[in-house]
Amino acid sequence: MKGAPELRASILAWYDARARAFPFRASRDPWAILVSEAMAQQTQISRVVEKWGPFMAAFPTVEALAVATPADVLRAWQGLGYNRRALNLWRAARTIVEEHGGRVPEEVADLARLPGVGPYTARAVAAIAFGRPVGAVDTNVRRVIGRIAGGAEGLTEAALQVAADAMVPADRPADWTHAVMDVGATLCRPRRPDCGACPARAWCRYAAAPPTLVPTVARTRPEVRFETTSRWLRGRILEQLRAAADGIWTTIPGPLGTHDADAVGDALAALARDGLVELDALDPQVARLPLA
């Protein structure tokens, strides 16, 4: 795109001065980077900062996670939520050991075939860990690149990926990946973007012609308390099972909170289908964390 070298230089200069400092950004270990990216999916970065260090201490290598039990992994993952990601990371470690000799693969296509690794994570690991000039497009990057190149209308997914790839500087793909994420997280917000402070302003079609804001009538929605959701219930069940020793069967009776016995049974069955718990063959309300 027009002015791309100057745009890259401006964003990277801003990043060099204002980069968010996270412990995993100091690592160039592909395994550590893959773990951080898996943790960051659908999770606040503050939680990732808190949990990444202890998790890496428990499983410092691909092999260490690959030989662990799912129960070990689920306990170490506590506090991050979306527990299927923990099992996917465990499965990815086993795949890396079995198919890649214990080395995190470098190619985007090979990374994307790992369990739980989608297009964004594959490209992020390739760029950050291996210096591949590929654009990793998450929610923040989609907004930044879409606004720069597409203005208020944005870009199609295909055009966005092309633009994201074209912008990556060959000599600093890792820094660029972090820089665009930081711009999106701190300046190019979904609402009320701080265009005046943005290093991309001179090249941004959105900043040049921002949309006209039409006043909207606020709509009130019934508040859904987290304690009434199935996600809350699943989390409480896993908390009880994490507290039990490996191999110990635990009865999970209802009610739990506002959820009756039938809801607890449904949640246990759903957790079993996801591979997060094992159910006793004779009593489906007796469960344990999986050991294999």
Please give the structure tokens belonging to residue 112.
């994307």
Q: Which two tokens stand for residue 259?
A: 């959820």
Kindly give the pairing relationship between strand 286-288 and strand 278-279: antiparallel
Helix (H) or strand (E) holding 121: helix 119-130
**The two structure tokens encoding residue 265:** 């049974």
Q: Provide the residue type at 245 as one letter.
A: A
Closest CA to 264 of 279, 244, 250, 285: 285
Clarify whether 157 is annotated catalytic: no
Q: Alpha-carbon torsion 75, 71, 234, 285, what sign?
A: negative
Instruction: Give the chain's end-to-end CA distance (angstroms, integer).
Output: 50
Which among 238, 179, 255 has a CA at the least distance from the CA of 19?
Answer: 179
Catalytic residue chosen out of the listed positions 37, 98, 106, 107: 37
The CA distance from 11 to 17, in Å, is 10
Q: What three-state secondary structure class fits 283?
A: coil
211 DSSP assignment: P
Residue 3 φ/ψ region, left for φ over 0, alpha for ψ in the -120 to 50 degree band, beta for the rest: left
Which residue has 């009130």 as its token pair? 220
- CA–CA gap between residue 107 and residue 110 (Å, rounded): 5
* Catalytic residue ranges: 37
